[in-house]
Amino acid sequence: MNNHKPEWYTRLKKGPFDKPIFDSEMQQEVEARTSLGKSNNRKRRLNPWAVAVVTLVFLTLVFILIPSPDQSLVSSPPANVNANEPTMSEYVIDHLQALMSEDEVKQAFGNNYQAQSTRRDFSQDHKEDPNDMSTWSSVDIWRFDFGVHEGYGVTQADGTKDQEGAFDLTGIRNRNIESQLVIYWKDRRVERAIFKSMNIEGDIDTLQIGPGVEEAPPTDPPASDVPQIDPSLATPNEGIRASSVTSKGILQLRPLKDGNETIEPLGAPSCLGQETDIQFTGDYELYFNDNSGNETLIQEFKQLEMIQPASTFIPLMKLNLTEIELYLLIPRYTDCHALEFYAYGINKESGEVSSLTFLNDEVISPYWTTSPVNLPQVIDGKLVVEGGRGAGMDGATRYVYVPDLAKNQLVLESKEQIP
């Protein structure tokens, strides 16, 4: 392709709008929601006063939890040991950057550090390898020890030869010391820094900050650094994607043989799920194999999308109505608004299996939607479905369905607005 860019490209540099739209109010809303730890419930604009109060409470909590800069971090009260572990790493992320001066570091982390220096003479044509400290002509480090238990003497290792050497890993593993921060200086500025602490699983987490660390192999990488993608992805167009054993036989959702099914990791986190979740897309058929060995096609799906945390098949959700066993196929497990689901009924008397449609105010729908948090349930012999929530909505709708076996339908009996 011709890489010469058209003249009108310059007109697209600016815009699409003159004024910025993502403003401080929207930022505050995100901050408020992060402090509440919610991602998928209330999405409508919050009252500015409520935002201000929540932000204030959040900042107060942060202020209380994060150690004061001029406090001796070594003498953190043991009562706060567990609470301080995540806070300390967050504090490091927040308060330490490459190129900071010695005074700035002292201001952030105090004066209680151990310094080590070494100088080496090399020939003039010597080249330093940024990942091999033994090739550096000078190494200056400061080591901060946080949460040292009373009576414990931190092992004084030589940290000028390699990055591991600076740490008392045995002390951290034995919980005699909560965490250590080692700062490497270049021209009296922070060149890089490594922070190690024990996480709740008992592994040592390593945090690296600063330029030049991209190639430096983490000495003890946290488990979360390793993508958890299932190595044994199912083979497209083969196998079973969803299944449930019923009293009359087995329901199975299978991809069409010779179909166009794709199976791949989601790739990035979103409302749909985690990046390592598995996304199945293609044409599928739902079969019922009765206890006598007869197979019946119940429903065909064109370009159905399913997303699940694992590559194995998913069970259908079972509910029990008076006259039918109800099975719900929910292709995805999470969403910011609502999940689609399909319903199947097995007549308890005749054993007949049917795909059920939803009749809502004279509109027939092949599927319905449910809150991802509160899944459908049976109350007083009726199917109760809490609808999803979206931006600008003050609440959700709760739907109550009763089965009409003659028409293979779930008929909306009533609905009500809920907060």
Partner 1 sequence: MAYDYLKYVTSIQSASLNELMRDHGQDVWNYAFLLTKNHHTSDDIVQEVFLQAFMHISSFRGQSSVRTWLFSITRNTAINHKKSAFIRKVTLLDFLYPAPSAPSAEEHYMERTYADSIWLLVMKLPPKYREVLILDAHYEMPQAEIALLLRISIGTVKSRLHRARSKMKSYLEEVERHEQS
Q: Which of residues 272-301 bind partner 1 (CB under 8 A)?
A: 272, 274-275
Phi and psi angles of residue 332, each rounded to the nearest 5 degrees, phi first: -120, 155
Min. distance of Cβ 271 from partner 1 in angstroms?
A: 5
- Each residue of 129-161: b (16+ CB within 10 Å) or e? eeeebeebeebbbbbbbbbbeeeeebeebebbe
With binding defined as CB under 8 A, does residue 224 bind partner 1? yes
Q: Which stretch binds partner 1 (CB under 8 A): 22-30, 69-77, 166-174, 287-295?
A: 22-30
State which residue, 94 or 238, has the beta carbon closest to partner 1.
94
**Sequence-ordered list of residues with C-beta below 8 angstroms from that of 6, at least 6 positions apart, any chain:** none
32 or 148: CB nearest partner 1: 32
Please report how close the Cβ of residue 275 comes to partner 1 at its closest, in angstroms: 5
Q: Of 12 and 310, which CB lies nearer to partner 1 in the complex structure? A: 12
What is the per-residue binding string for partner 1 in 166-195, x denoting contact by CB under 8 A?
A: ------------------------------
Q: What is the 3-state secondary structure (H, E, C) of 205-269?
A: EEEEECCCCCCCCCCCCCHHHCCCCCCCCCCCCCCCCEEEECCCEEEEEEECCCCCCEEEECCCC
Contact status: 143 vs partner 1 (CB under 8 A): no
Alpha-carbon Rg for the chain, nearest whole angstrom, is: 30
Q: Give the count of residues interacting with partner 1 (CB under 8 A).
A: 75
340 binds partner 1, rule: CB under 8 A? yes
Report helix angle 81-95 to 48-65, nearest 10. 110
Q: Which is nearer to partner 1, 56 or 115 (CB)?
A: 56
Contact 281, 289 (CB under 8 A): no
- 186 is written with which tokens? 């270049």
Where in 372-391 is the site for partner 1 (CB under 8 A)? 387-388, 390-391
Restricting to residues 31-60, name those near partner 1 by CB under 8 A: 31, 33-35, 39, 43, 58
